Amino acid sequence: MSPVALEPVLSQVVRAREVLAAAFTNDPLMLWLFPEPVGRADAVAAWLGVFVEGFAASAVVDTVLDDDGHIAGVALWRLGATEVQFPAAPTVGGLLVALVGPEAAVQFGGGLGAFAANKPSPPYHYLQFLAVHPAHQGRGLGRQLVQHGQQRAAAAGVGVYLESTNLRNLAFYHSLGLQPAGEFTLQPSGPVAYRLWWQPS
């Protein structure tokens, strides 16, 4: 089944958040932000949920469905100069403060700022999050989502850019033609973010 854009219906937004949380709970980025195992899954779901809401309302959330018609994989895309309109409350930063406390949130906020500081020059399509629910991994759903985005970028005449903080994902992205574009480390003591770029031929 080809990926389709998520319609910002509450039940779909909730399911997309669940898929992201299930896939990212043990990602190095989330382990850095939420190191305590107790409550981490809930914290990840809450924080990533703000991104799902913002992207569903003002950018692009592509989805693939399982055999029962439920969302099994999601990709959050920002196309070109699109500005994501995040919810007025909770904000991304405000929720982080609530989850980890003000002092840690300030430190993490500085570290997360490295993502913006290391973006390439536009134009390009940016894949912020890609997730396939663990129960459906290994079936090519993530590949479908990325290829769908690559086709859209090629039609627009632009490249695709993303970062991954999970070293194990690099071979997957390389198999889709994305090339290394450098790396940076999130401070303090955060994971390495690997920059990847794909240019349509």
pLDDT digits (tens, 9 = 90+) for 44-58: 999 999 999 999 989
7 pLDDT band, cuts 50/70/90, is low
Q: What is the predicted pLDDT for the residue at 8?
A: 56
The residue among 177, 135, 159 whose CA lies nearest residue 77 is 159
Tokens of 80: 């070109």
Cβ neighbours around 61 below 10 Å, total: 27
pLDDT digits (tens, 9 = 90+) for 73-120: 999 999 998 889 998 989 999 999 999 999 999 999 999 999 999 999
Q: Do 153 and 80 form a contact (C-beta atoms < 8 A)?
A: no
Beta pairing partners, 71: 65
Q: How far apart are CA 87 and CA 30, in angstroms?
A: 21
The residue among 115, 135, 137, 142 whose CA lies nearest residue 126 is 115
The secondary structure of 34-82 as a DSSP string is ---STTHHHHHHHHHHHHHHHHHHHSEEEEEE-TTS-EEEEEEEEETTP
Sign of dihedral through CA atoms 181, 184, 186, 192?
positive
Q: Which domains are delineated in the chain?
A: 4-198 (3.40.630.30)
pLDDT digits (tens, 9 = 90+) for 125-145: 999 999 999 999 999 999 999
**Taking the model in full, what pTM does it have?**
0.94
